[in-house]
């Protein structure tokens, strides 16, 4: 079977790998689609993401859907042949954060395809992967597997909106119209946001933000753009660049909330801290998600317009060109790798 292994910066290889044997408590999943995430691109282009560096070869991928084909000893879950999405996180359930119900910031979690711990947790970009059976979620009836592959990034977006607090009827600013920014738009609208303004440098990315439901789109490099709001109630930073955070801090109203979701460059970032002081802005981080995964699958099942955010489906053998496409936001939104699982088991395909 084929898998996508990152060996170091710029060194992505599609390799023939042995089919894993599901161990105790594990399920074997025949992966159909895997979404290429910004973090996968960071491992490929920079050899790390945020402050996590690659230290050994690692299967990439944490946005995977497919069908369950076997269980290991003492494992059970959806019946064999069921279409499933894989929740990528296995929190420890004993640390203080887990005890507080904040499993997404568990200090000892295992996250598919992540170099945050060593040995790294291998990812899901392979034709078959063994994962803890408790991570399987049945795909709702009628939900196309390609759209279901958005469950992980949509969960990230839903969590960020939840971190923002009440958004119903409010004006929400989203900086960055990559796949995550677009899904934040959709999540904010689903939560009842009254108006959503999105900024980005690229008109093509802003086009995807429109598909996701943005009310106003603004060219971030054009101070004369008529779409700039005077102020917003909530700002969610989804670009991962310091300039985006600056925009959020300048435009959020006094006492408003800014959520930093985009992963900033490694190390320290400058920010307009005095605005946080003098306007009593609440600056909050948002990282991954927990139970939002189930809500994401339900939202995807209910809303066909998400299909417009899947801009390409590329066979795994062409993974490098898929990564190049995903890295070019002028040509793509979410790019999926196709691992060619049994098409007859894929609903809607
Ligand atoms: Zn992701
Ligand atoms: Zn924990």
Q: Do residues 190 and 157 lie in contact, with contact meaning Cβ atoms separated by under 8 Å?
A: no
Q: Which listed ligand is nearest to 111 at the C-alpha?
A: 1
59 Cα: distance to centroid of ligand 2 (angstroms): 23
Average pLDDT over the chain reads 95
Record: fold of 157-285: Rossmann fold (3.40.50)
Question: Rounded distance, CA 339 to CA 246, Å?
Answer: 40
Q: Which listed ligand is nearest to 104 at the C-alpha?
A: 2
The residue whose two tokens read 């395809």 is: 113
153 Cα: distance to centroid of ligand 2 (angstroms): 21
113 Cα: distance to centroid of ligand 1 (angstroms): 10
pLDDT confidence of residue 309: 97
pLDDT confidence of residue 341: 52
218 Cα: distance to centroid of ligand 1 (angstroms): 25
Q: Do residues 162 and 108 lie in contact, with contact meaning Cβ atoms separated by under 8 Å?
A: no
pLDDT confidence of residue 267: 86
Q: What's the gap between Cα 206 and its chain centre?
A: 18
99 Cα: distance to centroid of ligand 2 (angstroms): 7
pLDDT digits (tens, 9 = 90+) for 264-295: 988 888 999 999 999 999 999 999 999 999 99
Q: Which listed ligand is nearest to 98 at the C-alpha?
A: 2
Q: Where in the chain is the domain with CATH 3.90.180.10?
A: 2-138+303-344
Into which CATH architecture does domain 2-138+303-344 fall? Alpha-Beta Complex (3.90)
pLDDT digits (tens, 9 = 90+) for 190-211: 999 999 999 999 999 999 999 9
Q: What angle do CA 143, 102, 245 make, to 5 degrees?
A: 85
Question: 3-state DSSP call for residue 15?
Answer: strand
What is the percent of the chain with per-residue pLDDT over 90, rounded to a whole number? Answer: 94
> For ligand 2, a single-atom ion, which residues have Cβ within 5 Å?
91-92, 95, 98, 106
93 Cα: distance to centroid of ligand 1 (angstroms): 22
Q: Which listed ligand is nearest to 112 at the C-alpha?
A: 1
Residue 108 has which token pair?
A: 């000892």
SS (H, E, C) 136-190: EEECCCCCCHHHHCCHHHHHHHHHHHHHHCCCECCEEEEECCCHHHHHHHHHHHH
Write 159-163 long-range contacts (CB < 8 A, 24+): 159/104, 159/286, 159/287, 159/288, 159/289, 159/290, 159/292, 160/184, 160/187, 160/236, 160/238, 160/259, 160/261, 160/286, 161/187, 161/188, 161/191, 161/236, 162/292, 163/259, 163/284, 163/285, 163/286
345 Cα: distance to centroid of ligand 1 (angstroms): 24
Q: Which listed ligand is nearest to 149 at the C-alpha?
A: 1
46 Cα: distance to centroid of ligand 1 (angstroms): 17
Q: Which listed ligand is nearest to 287 at the C-alpha?
A: 1
Residues of the chain with pLDDT under 50: 342-349
Burial 174-211 (b: 16+ CB within 10 A, else e): bbbbbbbbbbbbbbbbbbebebbbbbbbbeebbbbbbb
Question: Rounded distance, CA 31 to CA 53, Å?
Answer: 26
> For ligand 1, a single-atom ion, which residues have Cβ within 5 Å?
37, 63, 153
pLDDT digits (tens, 9 = 90+) for 160-177: 999 999 999 999 999 999
108 Cα: distance to centroid of ligand 2 (angstroms): 5
Q: Which listed ligand is nearest to 261 at the C-alpha?
A: 1
pLDDT digits (tens, 9 = 90+) for 57-78: 999 999 999 999 999 999 999 9
pTM (2 decimals)?
Answer: 0.95
pLDDT confidence of residue 51: 81
Q: Where in the chain is the domain with CATH 3.40.50.720?
A: 157-285
180 Cα: distance to centroid of ligand 1 (angstroms): 8
């Amino acid at each position: 079977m084929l898998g996508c292994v990152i060996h170091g910066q710029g060194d992505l290889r599609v390799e023939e790998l042995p089919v894993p044997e599901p161990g105790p408590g594990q399920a074997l999943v025949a992966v159909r689609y895997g979404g290429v995430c910004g973090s996968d691109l960071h491992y490929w282009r920079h050899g790390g993401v945020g402050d996590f560096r690659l230290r050994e070869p690692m299967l990439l991928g944490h946005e995977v859907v497919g069908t369950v084909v076997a269980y290991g000893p003492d494992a059970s879950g959806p019946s064999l042949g069921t279409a499933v999405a894989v929740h990528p996180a296995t929190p420890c359930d004993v640390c203080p954060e887990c005890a507080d119900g904040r499993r997404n910031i568990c200090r000892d979690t295992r996250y598919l395809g992540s170099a945050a711990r060593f040995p790294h947790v291998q990812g899901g970009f392979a034709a078959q992967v063994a994962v803890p059976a408790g991570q399987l979620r049945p795909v709702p009836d009628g939900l196309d597997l390609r759209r279901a592959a958005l469950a992980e990034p949509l969960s990230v977006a839903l969590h960020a909106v939840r971190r923002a607090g009440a958004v119903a009827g409010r004006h929400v600013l989203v900086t960055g119209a990559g796949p995550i920014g677009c899904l934040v738009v959709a999540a904010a609208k689903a939560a009842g946001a009254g108006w959503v303004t999105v900024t980005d440098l690229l008109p093509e990315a802003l086009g995807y933000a429109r598909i996701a439901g943005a009310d106003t789109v603004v060219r971030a490099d054009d101070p004369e753009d008529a779409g700039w709001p005077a102020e917003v109630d909530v700002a969610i930073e989804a670009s991962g660049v310091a300039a985006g955070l600056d925009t959020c801090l300048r435009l959020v109203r006094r006492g408003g909330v800014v959520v930093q979701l985009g992963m900033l460059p490694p190390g320290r970032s400058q920010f307009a801290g005095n605005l946080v002081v003098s306007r009593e802005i609440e600056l909050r981080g948002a990282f991954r998600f927990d139970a939002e995964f189930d809500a994401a699958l339900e939202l995807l099942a209910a809303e066909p317009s998400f299909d417009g955010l899947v801009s390409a489906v590329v066979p795994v053998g062409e993974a490098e060109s898929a990564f190049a496409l995903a890295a070019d936001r002028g040509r793509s939104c979410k790019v999926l790798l196709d691992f060619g699982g049994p098409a007859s088991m894929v609903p809607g395909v």
